[in-house]
Amino acid sequence: MSCFTLEHLVDGGRGRLSRRLVTPGLGLWTLGLALVGAGMLVAGARMASAAGQTVTVKMQDTPPRFLPEKLRIKVGDTIEWVNDAGTIHSVTDDPQNAQRAADVSAPAGAALFNSGFMPPGAKFSYTFTMPGHYKYVCVPHEQDDMIGEVDVTK
Ligand SMILES: [Cu+2]
């Protein structure tokens, strides 16, 4: 198994599966292993950076809100904020960007995020590598309570 390569699967480079390998028994077992292996190769690049899922949070205009406003995710998960509304929005948990410090929070040691102004159609992603409670605002709509919260568990 350890010396198995994809070349064993392909018949002389013609792209057909080797008849020897698809015979019942060991052949099918080997094919199954090969498919699992190929899947792992595809997933490899993603696993190198983050093993988590990507969750989408949409931005809405009337009233200005994050949808959903509250989320529970796991360490390694990514949130992708999507401005599919008609005006500019943003996301940041940096107190330097917030009007009220209490509107944002992040666990100690977490890298703060700030999308900057996101025009309609823009997307912004952040991968949460520190567990804890996060609160973030949309800078143009903080006064309208466009505030989101994320609980990140291990
Ligand atoms: Cu907004």
Residues above pLDDT 90, as percent of the chain: 67
Tens digit of each residue's pLDDT (9 = 90 or more) over 40-63 = 444 444 444 447 999 999 999 999
Task: Give me ligand 1 centre to Cα 59, in Å.
Answer: 7
Q: Are residues 67 and 20 in the same domain?
A: no
pLDDT of residue 130: 97
Using CA atoms, how far residue 105 sits from 19, 36, 47, 111, 126, in Å, is: 60, 41, 28, 11, 15
Q: Are residues 33 and 73 in the same domain?
A: no
Mean pLDDT value across residues 112-131: 98
Q: Are residues 139 and 119 in the same domain?
A: yes
Q: How far apart are CA 30 and CA 91, in angstroms?
A: 48
The CATH code of the domain that includes 73 is: 2.60.40.420
Q: Are residues 43 and 66 in the same domain?
A: no
Task: Give me ligand 1 centre to Cα 53, in Å.
Answer: 24
Mean pLDDT value across residues 24-33: 46
pLDDT of residue 21 exceeding 50, the answer is: no
Q: Are residues 61 and 15 in the same domain?
A: no
Mean pLDDT value across residues 75-83: 98
Task: Give me ligand 1 centre to Cα 130, in Å.
Answer: 25
pLDDT of residue 3: 40
Q: Are residues 143 and 78 in the same domain?
A: yes
22's tokens:
């698809």
Task: Give me ligand 1 centre to Cα 99, in Å.
Answer: 14
Task: Give me ligand 1 centre to Cα 76, in Å.
Answer: 25
Q: Are residues 44 and 81 in the same domain?
A: no
Q: Are residues 45 and 62 in the same domain?
A: no
